[in-house]
């Protein structure tokens, strides 16, 4: 499903206009950060992806990498999230020269807080959130199969902030 905002369901899901959840999460360098510390400095583009080193996820991460300076110039920080380990993230970031933080969402706690559902019942969902400096979700894009479109959608919205 490709949508500009998350669909509604009986499960709690973060929607446009909601306050983004905050959680302390470990980065690929082993540093623990709180999401609020990121969005208080600049807009945050938080992209959830299924798994390091898979075809679609690599394309998505590299597309964010290739537009990273444009996001920075527009006043946004880019951060990726998956349930992979710190070590997996570190290797992935080094291999593809990713300039942004990757969060190791052990146990999928952050994914659950945002309400990012699995696709096809088995694959962790691919959803991108644009969060403003007050922590309010301003845009959501969900598409499991259009991985690089997440970058275009987020960048177009960030430029409007």
Active site residues: 57
Q: Is 110 exposed, middle or buried (0-12, 13-18, 19+ CB in 10 A)?
A: buried
DSSP labels, 38-82: HHTTSEEEEEE-S-TTSHHHHHHHHHHHHTHHHHHHTTEEEEEEE
């Amino acid at each position: 499903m490709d949508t500009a905002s998350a669909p509604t369901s009986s499960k709690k899901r973060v929607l446009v206009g909601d306050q983004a959840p905050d959680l302390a999460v470990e980065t690929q360098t082993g540093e623990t950060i709180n999401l609020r510390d990121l969005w208080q400095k600049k807009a945050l583009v938080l992209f959830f992806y299924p798994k390091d080193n898979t075809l679609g996820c690599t394309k998505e991460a590299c597309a964010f990498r290739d537009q990273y300076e444009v996001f920075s110039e527009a006043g946004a920080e880019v951060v990726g999230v998956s349930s992979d380990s710190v070590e997996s993230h570190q290797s992935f970031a080094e291999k593809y020269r990713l300039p942004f933080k990757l969060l190791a969402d052990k146990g999928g706690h952050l994914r659950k807080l945002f309400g990012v559902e699995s696709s096809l019942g088995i694959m962790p969902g691919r959803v991108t959130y644009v969060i403003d400096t007050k922590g309010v979700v301003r845009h959501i894009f969900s598409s499991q199969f259009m991985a690089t479109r997440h970058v275009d959608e987020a960048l177009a919205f960030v430029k409007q902030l």
